[in-house]
Amino acid sequence: NSPFSYKSWADAVKAGRTISTSGPILDFYVDGKHIGDTIQMGNDGGTIEIWGDGKQTRSFLCIDECIEGIRRLMESDFEGPINIGSEEMVTINQLAEIIMKIAKKRLWIRHIPGPLGVRGRNSNNRLILDKLQWKPSQALEAGLTKTYFWIKEQITVAKRRGIKHDHYGSQQIKRNGEAF
């Protein structure tokens, strides 16, 4: 048994596989498209473009729940890899509709050619429930609401300061008005 083998370091190894995490202070991309601020910056009656037919499915986990899952994993005795993700699956079309509802905007969805990724992606949470007696419980809409209003606030601040705000990638994020 080598001193550098997995078994020698098993107590120090935790493998949380986070799946499509979003929320304030994170980029929110869906298959390469920045959805939240696209809708925020869109005018009522405008258009949002979605790659493919929009029927590809995804699940999204709010950052608060991701952090809680990681905390529980780190405090547990479980040594194997474990999914930390949401089981609430939506189509990309449904995702756009939910965000439009939150934004109180109505945009036309236009499907365009583009990379689709896999047709469906979701988290299987049987193991996290079994080993940690926990699974994410926050509804997608609640997490998207927090994210949407955070993006809206960032865009408002950027406009007020005359800063270009095409999207909020990690380079443009501000906390208390300061870049970090």
Q: DSSP code of 43?
A: P
Q: Contact, 59 vs 89, CB < 8 A?
A: yes
Dihedral angle over CA of 147, 151, 157, 160, nearest 10: -150
1 occurs within a structural domain: no
How far apart CA 139 and CA 120 sit, in angstroms, is: 19
DSSP annotation of 22: E
- pLDDT grade for 121, boundaries at 50, 70 and 90: confident
pLDDT tens digits, residue range 59-98? 989 889 999 999 999 999 898 899 999 999 999 899 989 9
Q: What's the domain range around 110?
A: 7-179
For residue 172, tell me if it sits in a domain. yes
pLDDT tens per residue, range 93-109? 999 899 889 988 888 88
- Mean pLDDT of the region 134-146: 91
CA 62, CA 42: separation in Å to the nearest integer? 23
Q: Establish if 168 belongs to a structural domain.
A: yes
2: in domain: no
**Residue 29: inside a domain:** yes
**How many domains does one find in the chain?**
1
Q: Which residues pair with 110 in a beta bridge?
A: 49
- Domain for residue 48, yes or no? yes
The one-character DSSP state at 158 is H
> Angle 145-57-155 (CA atoms, 0-180°, nearest 5)?
30
Neighbouring C-alpha atoms within 13 Å toward the C-beta of 88: 16
Predicted local confidence at residue 14, as pLDDT = 77
Residue 39's pLDDT is 56
Looking at residue 102, which CATH number applies to its domain?
A: 3.90.25.10
* Residue 15 placed within a domain: yes
On the question of pLDDT at 141 being above 90, the answer is yes
Single pTM value for the model: 0.74
Distance between CA atoms of residues 36 and 139, nearest Å: 17
Rounded mean pLDDT of the chain? 78
Residue 131 scores a pLDDT above 70: yes
Q: Using alpha carbons, select from 149, 99, 90, 97 the residue that is nearest to residue 121.
A: 90
